[in-house]
Amino acid sequence: MRVLGVDPGLTRCGVGVVEGVAGRPLTMLGVGVVRTPADAELGHRLVAVEQGIEQWLDEHKPECVAVERVFSQHNVRTVMGTAQASAIATLCAARRGIPVALHTPSEVKAAVTGSGRADKAQVGAMVTRLLRLDAPPKPADAADALALAICHIWRAPAQNRLQQAVAQHAANATKGRTA
Amino acid sequence: MRVLGVDPGLTRCGVGVVEGVAGRPLTMLGVGVVRTPADAELGHRLVAVEQGIEQWLDEHKPECVAVERVFSQHNVRTVMGTAQASAIATLCAARRGIPVALHTPSEVKAAVTGSGRADKAQVGAMVTRLLRLDAPPKPADAADALALAICHIWRAPAQNRLQQAVAQHAANATKGRTA
């Protein structure tokens, strides 16, 4: 499974591509940051984020895009930019029919470090170890994007089983009604 | 000046096109709502909003798009959807090189009713009167989109004068340095 992780942001949007399956060593295929100038108009910044994400989708053709689920506990200005960048990434993927999965920051931290309250350094250290890199990816947004992709690869089997169980249950219920 | 007003939202995104200049009677060219099903996936909803906004831009070719500036005082769930729909509308306009103006809800209310704390009914009544309609546009999101467009037409001259003054000041400062 090849996953593009996106840590959304207007000033720095972290992107990272990881390939692998749960239980096997993972491979990093690319990591980077889509940047837009803080003094540019919002519209221009969103167009730049769109172009950046499109390039990553073109180049790596991921089967899934994992985006950080935006929360409100941050300060308002940041949340707006994050929500808007996340909307653009989600739009780009959905237009291509690529499924989009959302994971919360604590789900991502718990997946890669074992603790939902791990700090940036811990996440960076584990991403470096899990992907067998020479040094933690910089900036932190890039490392977070890789952590999102790893989190998705590891959580996907459980999520799929859950979805299948729900679908099976719904199918049985329908059968019950039509019988 | 022809302005597309957008009251952003994922479930109901109000859109309204108004033509005119400050100090003259205004004309409504179109009003409607782009809807997306609340139970659809976020990605599909964003693609549907994009397609809806694109249709309005294609049909009416506005010179400017006025979008409601998103605030945080609403509840969190609503703000996220609003920020995301607003990002899509802003992206669509910016991709075509159409300038995007943001106005706060109280600026819009103050522009059309004289009070920044007017209620929905008052805004609807004034939009009806100013555009010489037979009845207030429904739902309220559609009326709000028209109010945004009206607000922009009325505020634009003052904003342009301000921008020109700032540009003039900057030009003079440069001249002073190079003289």
Give me the long-range contacts of B153-158 (CB less than 8 A, separation at least 24): B153/B1, B153/B3, B153/B18, B153/B20, B153/B21, B153/B22, B153/B26, B154/B22, B154/B111, B155/B103, B155/B107, B155/B111, B156/B1, B156/B22, B156/B64, B156/B101, B157/B22
Q: Are strands A100-103 and A64-68 parallel, antiparallel or unpaired?
A: parallel
Q: How far apart are CA B9 and CA B54, in angstroms?
A: 16
Give me the total of CB pairs closer than 8 Å, taking one residue from chain A and one from chain B.
80
Give the residue among B9, B131, B120 at the shortest CA–CA distance from B67.
B9
Write down the pLDDT at residue A76. 66
Write down the pLDDT at residue A162. 66
Q: How far apart are CA B14 and CA B31, in angstroms?
A: 8
| CA atoms within a 13 Å half-sphere pointing along the CA-CB vector of A22 | 12
In chain B, alpha helices (H): 42-60, 76-95, 105-113, 120-130, 140-178
From A43, A70, A93, residue closest to B91, measured CB to CB: A43
Residues A16 and A153: beta-carbon distance below 8 Å: no
List all residues 6 or more positions away from A122 whose beta carbon is below 8 Å from its beta carbon.
A109, A113, A115
Lowest pLDDT segment from A40-44, A80-84, A141-145, B98-102:
A80-84
Per-residue pLDDT tens for B20-49? Answer: 998 899 999 999 999 999 999 999 999 999
With contacts defined as CB-CB under 8 Å, which chain B residues touch A88? 87-88, 91
Q: Beta partners for A6?
A: A15, A67
Best interface-test mutation with A: which of B84, B102, B103, B159 has the largest number of A CBs within 10 A? Answer: B84
- Alpha-carbon dihedral A123, A128, A130, A131, rounded to 10 degrees: 130
Domain coordinates in residue numbering, chain A: 2-178
Average pLDDT over chain A reads 90
Q: Do B94 and A70 touch (CB under 8 A)?
A: no
Residue A63 in marked binding region: no
Average pLDDT over chain B reads 90
Q: How far apart are CA B35 and CA B45, in angstroms?
A: 9
Per-residue pLDDT tens for A49-64? Answer: 999 999 999 999 999 9
The predicted model gives A16-40 an average pLDDT of: 96
Q: How far apart are CA A29 and CA A21, in angstroms?
A: 14
The whole-angstrom distance between A163's CA and the closest CA on chain B is 14
The verdict on A88 touching B (C-beta cutoff 8 Å) is yes
Q: Which fold has domain A2-178?
A: Nucleotidyltransferase; domain 5 (3.30.420)
Determine what percent of chain B is predicted with pLDDT higher than 90: 78
The whole-angstrom distance between A68's CA and the closest CA on chain B is 13
Q: Do B100 and A41 touch (CB under 8 A)?
A: yes
In chain A, alpha helices (H): 42-60, 76-95, 105-113, 120-130, 140-178
Enter the tokens of residue A47: 């167009």
Give the residue among B113, B6, B123, B129 at the shortest CA–CA distance from B56.
B6
Give the residue among B52, B69, B57, B153 at the shortest CA–CA distance from B98.
B57
Q: How far apart are CA B61 and CA A166, in angstroms?
A: 46
Per-residue pLDDT tens for B111-141? Answer: 999 999 999 999 999 999 999 999 999 999 9
Q: How far apart are CA A45 and CA A88, in angstroms?
A: 11
Residues A137 and A31: beta-carbon distance below 8 Å: yes
Position B73 pLDDT exceeds 60: no
